[in-house]
A and B are shown apart, each in its own frame.
Chain A
Amino acid sequence: MTDLFSKFDALIAQREGLLATGVKDPFSLVMEEVKSPTVAVVNGKETILLGTYNYMGMTFDDDVIAAGKKALDEFGAGTTGSRVLNGTFQGHKECEDALKEFYGMDHAMVFSTGYQANLGIISTIAGKGDYIILDIDSHASIYDGCKMGDAEIVAFRHNDVEALEKRLKRLPADAGKLVVLEGVYSMLGDVAPLKEMIRVSKEAGAMILVDEAHSMGFIGENGRGVAEEQGVLDDVDFIIGTFSKSVGTVGGFCVSNHPKFEIMRLVCRPYVFTASLPPSVVACSAASIRKLMHNSNKRGHLWENSKSLHQGLRDLGFQLGTPNAQSAIIAVIMPDLEKGAAMWAALLENGLYVNLARPPATPAGMTLLRCSLCAEHSSEQVADILDRFERAGKAVGII
């Protein structure tokens, strides 16, 4: 018998090798208590959270929690059904209404996760004979959506407008084309030149989908994301987003002005063939989205946090993923996986949690310590974070 697991042997060996160096397993961490959006107890120790994408700190918002408790009491624990059968409750409609208002768009469709939103929309709208043109550094959910559909997939170099334009011009003029972009790329925290990319895409007759998972709630005048910030939101055909970052719950969505958009509810398999979100989750999400519309003070503080962390880490001598703070993600580049894992463990020892990101999730084979800031991080916490980075960096020998 061939052991189907033998294909994982190399990964198993790499993992065992890493653990043999005495490093705690970075991928099996448990949050024993969560005290606030920025503090948890890990290994019995109070730890500052700097890797949760909880950008606006909505997870413990009083109004959000109250809305969830009320829905739990009134509508029960779960829906036990698909959105197109018995799984659409009043709360799901209210959540979609909140999204339509938030983005100023005609249609909104809520999925059970952000992953499923990309999987469903991309695989359904681009079919046989159509082309999907995507940035090579696209998120796994975008690639998986491509793999699930029947379209031809064309990749272009990360954030390279010219490479995109060249490829668009080589495709058959009359073929259906979907250009898939992200507002903020989650590994390095860099922002896409959406304005130029959307211009060349429109010129080539392509439809455009932008994943704004890492920008919703704090980039753009109304927190609608990078497309809003760059003044091109009206040219985007489909915005994909998630509730598991700024909104602070779980779920995914697509908003659009396409006049035929509602047909998606019948043809999109990751929407149809799964149970809908629990009533408490959609109620929390709707309350959170409505609060995110009016949040300019919190947004301002988040930007301050991001800028001071970026500046501080650079001054300490760390190598960063972007030349300036472009989002609430600051990526610290590690020399290799072993040093990265050691640094990650040293930070945790010092009471600081960040994400350890490694290939294949990262671009260019990099090992990253990815930091995501929260609007609820105080200025003192940011100073504390820098202090811990300095101590750990010196102990591991990176700075």
Chain B
Amino acid sequence: MTDRSEMFDRLKGLIAPFNKKGVDVSETTTFAGDLEWDSLTVMDFVAEVEDSFDIIISMNLQAEIENVGQLVDAVTKLTAA
């Protein structure tokens, strides 16, 4: 549990500079709907997450990630491998 909330906090920290609207970020917050990110913002954010965790989030995987909780799951899985 602690691991998951740590991962959530870390990702929330990475979301913050891109959270121009000051949306309250939870696990169910969606990137396209709630945060209203366009494809350019998504790209910058993904690059930031990839470099922070030294991982690759392929575009195939990105297509399946709609909210913050799903991102937490995906990054947890990628960093465990």
A interface vs B, CB < 8 Å? Answer: 131, 136, 146, 152-157, 163, 166-167, 170-171, 360, 363-365
Check B58–A154 contact: CB distance below 8 A: yes
Q: At the interface, yes or no: B32 with Cβ under 8 Å from chain A?
A: no
Q: How far is the CA of A365 from the CA of B51 in the complex (A)?
A: 24
Q: At the interface, yes or no: B59 with Cβ under 8 Å from chain A?
A: yes
Per-position 1/0 for B57-68, Cβ under 8 A of A:
011100000000
B interface vs A, CB < 8 Å? Answer: 38-40, 43, 47, 50-51, 54-56, 58-60
Q: How many A-B residue pairs have CB under 8 A?
A: 31
Q: Chain B residues near A157: list those with CB within 8 A.
A: 43, 47
Q: Quick one: given A157-B47, A166-B51, A167-B50, are A364 and B40 in contact (CB under 8 Å)?
A: yes
Closest 8 CB pairs of A and B: A153-B59, A152-B58, A170-B56, A154-B58, A154-B56, A152-B60, A136-B43, A153-B58
Check B56–A167 contact: CB distance below 8 A: yes
Q: Give the dominant DSSP class at A's interface.
A: mixed
Q: Chain B residues near A153: list those with CB within 8 A.
A: 58-60
Q: How far is the CA of A170 from the CA of B39 in the complex (A)?
A: 23
A147 to chain B, nearest CB (A): 9
Most buried by B among A146, A170, A171: A170
Q: Quick one: given A360-B39, A365-B38, A365-B40, are A163 and B47 in contact (CB under 8 Å)?
A: yes
Q: How far is the CA of A171 from the CA of B54 in the complex (A)?
A: 10
Q: Chain A residues near B54: list those with CB within 8 A.
A: 170
Q: Chain A residues near B47: list those with CB within 8 A.
A: 156-157, 163
Beyond A154-B58, A365-B40: 11 further Cβ-contacts under 8 Å?
Answer: A146-B59, A152-B58, A155-B43, A155-B59, A157-B47, A163-B47, A166-B51, A167-B56, A170-B55, A170-B56, A360-B39
